[in-house]
A and B are shown apart, each in its own frame.
Chain A
Amino acid sequence: MVIPMAIILDHVSHIYEEGTAMEVAALKDVSLTIPDGQFIGLIGHTGSGKSTLVQHLNGLMKPTSGHIYYNGADIHEEGFDKKELRSKVGLVFQYPEHQLFEVDVFSDVCFGPRNMGLDEKEVQLRAYAALKQVGLEDDYFYQSPFDLSGGQKRRAAIAGVLAMKPEVLILDEPTAGLDPKGRDEILDQIAALRDETGITVILVSHSMDDVAKYVDRIVVMNQGGVMYDDEPVNVFRYYKELEAVGLAAPQVTYIMQALKEKGFPVKTDIITIEEAKNEILRALGR
């Protein structure tokens, strides 16, 4: 069986102000394959090229060299439907609640599908389904989006993208500024959505603990290039290298390192609390 490859980046570079004294390479020769249904964590320090990369995935930015294929088609080839691409590859920006604008939550979520030219019944069905997917209760549907709490606003904004039924959902720091419970709720909901619908999810995050807990694969960006691309447990083995580029490992990895340094017989390739608990219990002979 051939596994469909939703997005392929082939030697993609993006150079700002190319050929001038101000030339900056924001992306350098990035090649990535993103199969359907994967949950990917994209990490990197501020300015490492993460945001530039995700804006290439739905054609908002055009590479200065290289090619991007979506389901086999080159997205910058003449005749490629970019508008459709943008509904298939949904991008939720940082602080997406700043983009809420309608009089009530339901109308706001309808905006995307209506813009796609769908008939009104389909628009409303999709809006309803999307709001349910992000876990917003009916009570909020006809409230002004501005009267919602921070976490609710963010869900409403994510629903606005989901209502376009994307095949790929990209979230740029969806939990920034939320309280711990709000962070867990949003990420749990996204993980559940992925499991139910098989949507591909790309999570841009500064929280190593969150990434370790949720994703199948981590792509680490540094200076516009891909530094590591592997399963979380393999990426976080390089915690010293990650620290050198402004990142870190999940906190539990450091705890296990500290235990090992003390001479205790524990494994250190541990990235979640659950794993750490089990490993310590095992080493204690419980």
Chain B
Amino acid sequence: MGIIEAKKLIFEYIRRDEEGNVEGITRAVDEVDLDVKQGDFVAVLGHNGSGKSTLAKHLNAILYPTEGTVWVDGKDTAEEKYLWEIRQTAGMVFQNPDNQIIGQVVEEDVGFGPENMGVPTKEIWERVEESLKAVGMYQYRKHSPNKLSGGQKQRVSIAGVIAMHPKCIILDEPTAMLDPNGRKEVIRAVRALNQAEEITVILITHYMEEIIHADKAIVMDKGHIAMQGSPREIFSQVERLKELRLDVPQVTLLAYELKKSGIALPDGILTYEELVEALPFRQKTDRILNG
């Protein structure tokens, strides 16, 4: 069994008018099956309102399924007795760093989670140190979070989650409010956690470039999974993604446009290096060299 598994997950909410009468029922998540293995990096894409955040909130028991089941590390999220264990296993990072930071000093903020869990003081400090080092923020441990940049604040939020030693971390658009450097810092930190610490990562994002290193990408539409596969498989389907209000990385789009203009290129090019290698310029140089 994977670290996170969902079977026929359905989530419905009831819409009411101002008098409280039921206006209708919206199915935000519709029969979703998921199987995430420990150590995987899974990206979740989907347009606004496609159900991806609602799905994410099921993965650490903020929401419970209307029908179907979600297991986190083998524990059914609908069972209240597992609530705290589940939240410790699967930590969540949200979009706005300012809503997630509470401490006056960076290291206090990061220590809040383990302290709340009743971790002994000495171990709290050890965890704070290792978490801040893991996101590259250790040198800021004595700083006030207010004075940090957006990317730095978001990395402190991530450190706060990993100080609780989760097996899985779920990030819901962690870079939406950040400048280019902040985005890079956060994605780099997330990849490092995944690779060095083997923490399972579930990353929700609207930035296609951020997920090219994911093991798997899931595309949500109208509450269900519309596409899934490796980033290369997903990004090979430019037209389909555009129908789903999404996009592909700029490199992939350029390759796609060149291909449409008659240049022979493989589908799903994801990096500059791949494009540079694949362009038929090389043959030309070879010809000159051999000629």
Contacts and interface: CB of A to CB of B under 8 A. Distances in A.
Interface of A: 44-47, 94, 149-151, 173, 176-183, 206, 208-209, 243, 246-248, 250-252, 254-255, 258-259, 262-264, 273-274, 276-277, 280-281, 283-284, 286
Interface string B241-281: 01001110111011001100111000000001101100111
A5 to B, nearest CB: 30
Interface stretch (B172-180, B190-198, B223-231): B172-180
B238 to A, nearest CB: 12
A177 B173 contact: yes
Given A177-B95, A255-B254, A284 B179 contact: no
B246 A252 contact: no
Contacts of A44: 179
Contact of B180 (A150, A176, A208): A208
A262 B276 contact: yes
A135 to B, nearest CB: 15
A258 B173 contact: no
A286 B263 contact: yes
A181 B247 CA distance: 7
A281 B263 contact: yes
A25 B281 CA distance: 50
Contacts of A252: 250, 254
A261 B176 CA distance: 32
A277 B263 CA distance: 11
Contact of B179 (A151, A246, A280): A246
B182 interface: yes
B155 to A, nearest CB: 13
B144 interface: no
Given A46-B179, A179-B245, 13 more contacts: A45-B182, A46-B151, A180-B247, A247-B180, A251-B251, A252-B254, A255-B272, A258-B272, A258-B276, A264-B276, A281-B261, A281-B263, A286-B263
A150 B263 contact: no
B149 A46 contact: yes
A182 B246 CA distance: 9
B172 to A, nearest CB: 11
A283 B281 contact: yes
Given A273-B254, A286-B263, A258 B273 contact: yes
A263 B276 CA distance: 11
15 contacts: A45-B181, A178-B206, A179-B46, A179-B206, A181-B47, A181-B247, A183-B206, A206-B178, A255-B275, A264-B279, A277-B254, A277-B261, A281-B261, A283-B281, A286-B261
Given A182-B245, A262-B276, A273 B257 contact: yes
Given A251-B251, A255-B272, A273-B250, A284 B279 contact: yes
A68 to B, nearest CB: 26
Contacts of B151: 46
B34 interface: no
Contacts of A262: 276, 281
B285 interface: yes
Contacts of B49: 149-150
A179 B188 CA distance: 22
A128 B182 CA distance: 39
B33 interface: no
Contact of A281 (B47, B177, B258): B258
A273 B245 contact: no
A125 B16 CA distance: 32
Which 4 pairs across A and B sit closest by C-beta, in order of nearness?
A181-B245, A180-B247, A246-B181, A150-B48
B48 A47 contact: no
Contacts of A173: 177
A45 B275 contact: no
Contacts of A179: 46-48, 50, 206, 245-246
B212 to A, nearest CB: 12
B281 A259 contact: yes
B180 A248 contact: yes
